């Protein structure tokens, strides 16, 4: 078990400090808390492989104001050679916040030994194909699954059977429920509110957006790190095409042509989205995924041992 409380560093507030401590550059996107988890896992893996060991995450969570990961550690000199396949660089557009991942390593299909090789040049162009903005690079981060969904589901069923033994049952149940529903092979996530803010359009409901993704042939889920998160295996081009179709049904006001949203909407969608109710979509939630704060003005407190500085009344 490993915990990290320096979220200002891991979330991108001090990128140079994060690189010096964890060996990765953070990107300040809506997914910054999940990226913090993946930076921590990448740091642990990079230290483990120096000793012919590798990690397998059991559960990785962001809660309250810190992150905590649980991993199993195994020893295998041959398996550590595949570690480059677990790391990826993140390319995020500075205009529309579209992001793309590229693995550090690749497998040569012509080599039967399956030995990882350095990957080719970046898959992203110099400018974003959606809005024409530049890309900023972050990482490397852990891009393999960060949870063991089978383990989370089994533990969740066990604690539900003995819920009276846990004082913090509601919180444990909420986290494990969210974790058990996450897509395992969808690193990072998008925020529907952020996408709509870029286009300056009204928000489709979560059910409608989930249905549009599923009707396009892709998977989608939420995330325990953010109640507004949308984890999906659909590429960013599909997501923007869905929003272009949505704007055609719900037009927006005219806006300057040099804005990222205007450039995105100036392109015709290659995919005709369907917002009809899809099977296997969102269902009525019988248990909460996110709990309210336990008290008013709840948050990080002052560092221990630091006395309060009280000013005289005449100087207030």
Q: How many CB atoms sit inside 10 A of residue 22's CB?
A: 21
Secondary structure of residue 104 in the 3-state scheme: coil
Calpha distance 39→6 (Å, rounded): 12
- pLDDT tens track for 199-240: 999 999 989 999 999 999 999 999 999 888 999 999 999 999
Q: How many CB atoms sit inside 10 A of residue 165's CB?
A: 8
- Mean pLDDT for the chain? 89
DSSP 18-35: HHHHHS-B---STTHHHH
What's the predicted TM-score (pTM) here?
0.90
Calpha distance 252→278 (Å, rounded): 26
* Domain extents in the chain: 2-147, 149-181, 190-266
For residue 84, name the pLDDT band (cuts at 50, 70, 90). Answer: very high
With a cut of 90, say whether residue 83 has pLDDT above it: yes
Strand partners, 67: 4, 62
For residue 295, name the pLDDT band (cuts at 50, 70, 90). Answer: confident
With a cut of 70, say whether residue 315 has pLDDT above it: no
HEC string of 202-255 equals CCCCHHHHHHHHHHCCCCEEEECCEEEEEEECCCHHHHHHHHHHHHHHCCCCCC
- pLDDT of the residue at 65: 87
Secondary structure of residue 115 in the 3-state scheme: coil
Running DSSP on this structure, what letter comes out for residue 302? P
User: What is the architecture of the domain spanning 2-147?
Assistant: 3-Layer(aba) Sandwich (3.40)
User: Rounded to an integer, what is the distance from CA 182 to the centroid of its chain?
Assistant: 10
Over range 150-177, report the average pLDDT. 89
Question: What CATH class has 190-266?
Answer: alpha beta
């Amino acid at each position: 078990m490993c915990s990290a409380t320096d979220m200002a560093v891991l979330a991108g507030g001090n990128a140079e400090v994060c690189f010096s401590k964890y060996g990765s550059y953070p990107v300040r996107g809506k997914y910054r808390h999940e990226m913090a988890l993946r930076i921590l896992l990448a740091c642990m893996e990079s230290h483990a492989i120096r000793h012919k060991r590798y990690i397998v995450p059991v559960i990785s969570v962001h809660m309250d104001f810190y992150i905590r990961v649980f991993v199993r550690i195994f020893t295998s000199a041959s398996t550590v050679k595949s570690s480059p396949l677990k790391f990826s660089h993140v390319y995020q557009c500075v205009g529309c916040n579209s992001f793309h991942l590229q693995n550090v390593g690749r497998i040569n299909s012509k080599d039967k030994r399956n030995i990882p090789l350095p990957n080719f040049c970046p898959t992203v162009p110099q400018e974003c194909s959606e809005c024409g903005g530049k890309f900023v690079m972050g990482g490397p981060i852990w891009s393999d699954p960060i949870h063991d969904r089978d383990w989370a589901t089994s533990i969740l069923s066990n604690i539900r059977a003995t819920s009276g033994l846990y004082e913090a049952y509601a919180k444990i149940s909420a986290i494990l429920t969210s974790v058990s529903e996450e897509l395992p092979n969808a690193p990072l996530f998008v925020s529907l509110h952020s996408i709509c803010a870029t286009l300056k359009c009204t928000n489709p409901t979560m059910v409608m957006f989930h249905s549009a993704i599923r009707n396009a042939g892709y998977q989608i889920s939420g995330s325990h790190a953010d109640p507004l998160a949308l984890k999906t295996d659909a590429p960013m081009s599909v997501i923007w095409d869905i929003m272009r179709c949505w704007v055609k049904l719900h037009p927006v006001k005219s806006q300057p042509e040099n804005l990222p949203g205007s450039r995105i909407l100036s392109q015709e969608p290659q995919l005709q989205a369907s917002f009809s109710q899809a099977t296997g979509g969102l269902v009525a939630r019988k248990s909460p995924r996110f709990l309210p704060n336990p008290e008013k003005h709840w948050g990080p407190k002052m560092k221990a041992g630091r006395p309060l500085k009280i000013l005289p009344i005449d100087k207030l």
